[in-house]
Amino acid sequence: MERDIHEYDGEDISVTWDGERCIHARECVDGLPGVFDPDEHPWIDPDEADADGVAEVITRCPTGALQFERNDGGWEETTPDENTIDVVPDGPLYARGDIDIVDEDDTELLSDTRVAFCRCGASGNKPLCDNTHADIEFEASGSVGAADDSDAPPDGQLSVTPTANGPLHVEGSFEIEGTDGTSYRGEDASLCRCGASGNKPFCDGSHAEVGFSTDDE
């Protein structure tokens, strides 16, 4: 996973933006256009709004590209009480919670509360989404086509392992939510990230048939 972090220091709050994780979801621009203005340079001015407002808008960023640090002792972002994974139609998986991305040797790659995972198979920054799904006109519903597999509350640590040439292996209590009201609660699942599964968002082994490769990961 590549990083491209820029810092914007304000009097009461400092903001960082990772250009590699940003997919222009526009929660920031729509939420506080005076602070986040792509037509200005620098495009982020933390002092154009009160620190609490800036912090609140940053927590809406679904990819984790935006982060903040308070300089005034104000409230900081906390880990959500529940682990949720939202299935975005024609787009990525938006995960929120106590998320650890680890490799197959259990080495931590990223720890965060907000992550966007690629599910089209074409991202240049796997396992993270880089908005390539829009360029390739990826099509997939926002539905969750499976019955619940667990009664456990979706809390605690969530471990996500991008397997070599295969799916995302998710371990820990979580709930997957579709935009059509469907949902799945589980503790162990393999989620498609090649874009070819016939049972999205779950893996059905199609990555082997289409020759999905993660050599660039």
Q: Are 103 and 194 found together in one domain?
A: yes
User: In this structure, are residues 94 and 155 in contact, taking their beta carbons and an 8 Å threshold?
Assistant: no
Among the candidates 17, 36, 70, a domain finishes at 70
CATH number of the domain that residue 104 is part of: 3.40.5.90
Instruction: Identify each DSSP E strand in the chain by its residue range.
Output: 5-9, 13-18, 66-70, 84-87, 93-102, 108-117, 157-162, 168-177, 183-191
Q: Are 91 and 50 found together in one domain?
A: no
Q: How far, in Å, CA of 134 to CA of 120, rounded?
A: 10
Tokens representing 104?
Answer: 């197959």
User: In this structure, are residues 40 and 11 in contact, taking their beta carbons and an 8 Å threshold?
Assistant: no
Range of the domain at 107: 84-210
Among the candidates 42, 70, 98, a domain finishes at 70
Q: Are 115 and 35 found together in one domain?
A: no
Q: Are 60 and 101 found together in one domain?
A: no
What is the share, in percent, of the chain residues with pLDDT greater than 70? 100
Q: Is residue 147 pLDDT above 80, yes or no?
A: no
pLDDT tens sequence across 62-116: 999 999 999 999 999 999 999 999 999 999 999 999 999 999 999 999 999 999 9
Q: Are 17 and 96 found together in one domain?
A: no
CATH number of the domain that residue 27 is part of: 3.30.70.20
What is the dihedral sign for C-alpha 164, 193, 83, 13? positive
Q: Are 113 and 11 found together in one domain?
A: no
Q: Are 97 and 50 found together in one domain?
A: no
Query: Taking the complete model, does pTM exceed 0.85, yes or no?
Result: yes
